[in-house]
A and B are shown apart, each in its own frame.
Chain A
Amino acid sequence: MSDFTPIPYILDSSVLIDVARGDADLIGFLQDFDRAGHSLIIPSLTAAGALLDSQGLPDAQALLTGLAAFEHTTVAPLDGIPQAAKLAAMVNLMSSTELNSFDAHAAAIADVAICPILTLKASMWAWLSSTLDAPLHIIEIADPDQ
Chain B
Amino acid sequence: MPVALFVSVFLIAACGLIYELIAGTLASYLLGDDVFQFSTIIGCYLFAMGIGSYLSRFLRRGLVTQFISIELMVGLIGGFSSSLLFVAFAYTEAFRLILYAIVILVGTLVGLEIPLLMRILKERFKFSELISQVLTFDYLGALGASLLFPILLVPKLGLVRSALVFGILNAAVAFWSTFLFREQLVRSHTLRAACFVTLGLLGAGTVFANRISSTADNALYADEVIFSRNTHYQHIVLTKWKDDLRLFLNTHLQFSSRDEYRYHEALVHPGLAALPGARRVLVMGGGDGLAIREILKYPSVESITQVELDPEMTRLFSTHPVLSQLNQHALTQPRVHVINDDAFQWLDKNSDFFDFIVADFPDPTNYSIGKLFTTTFYRLAAKHLSAGGLMVIQSTSPLFARQSYWCIVETVRQAGLRAYAYHVYVPSFGEWGYVIASQTPFQTPQQLPSNLRFLSARNVAEMFVFPNDMTPIPAEPNRLNDQILVRYYDREWKEIAR
Are A and B interaction partners?
A: no
Chain A positions near chain B (C-beta within 8 angstroms): none
Chain B positions near chain A (C-beta within 8 angstroms): none
